[in-house]
Amino acid sequence: MKLDLFRKALAVLFLFTLATPALAKDIPHIHKFDLKVGQTRVFYGYIGKKCGVLPSRVSLPKVRIGTLSTGKAGIRGSRRCNGRVPAVEIKFTATKKGRATFRINEDRFTVQVR
C-alpha cells in the first residue's frame, strides 16, 4: 500500500516538473519602447549567471526618466544558454518625459517617455 502511494506521489511530482516550464509566463525582450508618464512595462527577462537557475540577485542601472524594478519569474529564450531558461521580469516605470538609453547585462535598451 505504501509503495503504491509513493509511486503515485512520484508520478505527480514528475508530471509537475515537466509541466512547470510550459505554464511559466513568456517574458518579452523589447529593445525600444514608448511610454507615457506613470505607465509601467515589462520589457526584459533577467537571466542569472548559471543557466537554468533563477538569478538570486539582480543588478539594475539608474535611469533619469524612470525606475527599473523586478517582477515575477517567467521564461525567455537565451542564445548564451542555448534555449528557454528561467528569468525574472524587468519593468520600467516612466516618471518624467524624455529619452534614455541604458544597458542591462550586455543588452542595450532605449525608452521614450511622452
Residue 49 located in a structural domain = yes
pTM attached to this predicted model: 0.78
**11 in helix, strand or coil?**
helix
Residue 8 located in a structural domain = no
For residues 34 and 94, the answer to whether their CB atoms sit within 8 Å is no
Count of structural domains, the chain? 1
Residue 73 located in a structural domain = yes
Residue 67: predicted pLDDT: 98
Residue 39 located in a structural domain = yes
Residue 45: predicted pLDDT: 97
Cell reading at 28: 518579452
Residue 15 located in a structural domain = no
Residue 70 located in a structural domain = yes
Residue 108 located in a structural domain = yes
pLDDT tens string, the chain, 114 residues long: the values are 555 554 554 444 444 444 455 557 999 999 999 999 999 999 999 998 899 999 989 999 999 999 999 999 999 999 999 999 999 999 999 999 999 999 998 899 999 999
Domain that holds residue 91: 24-113
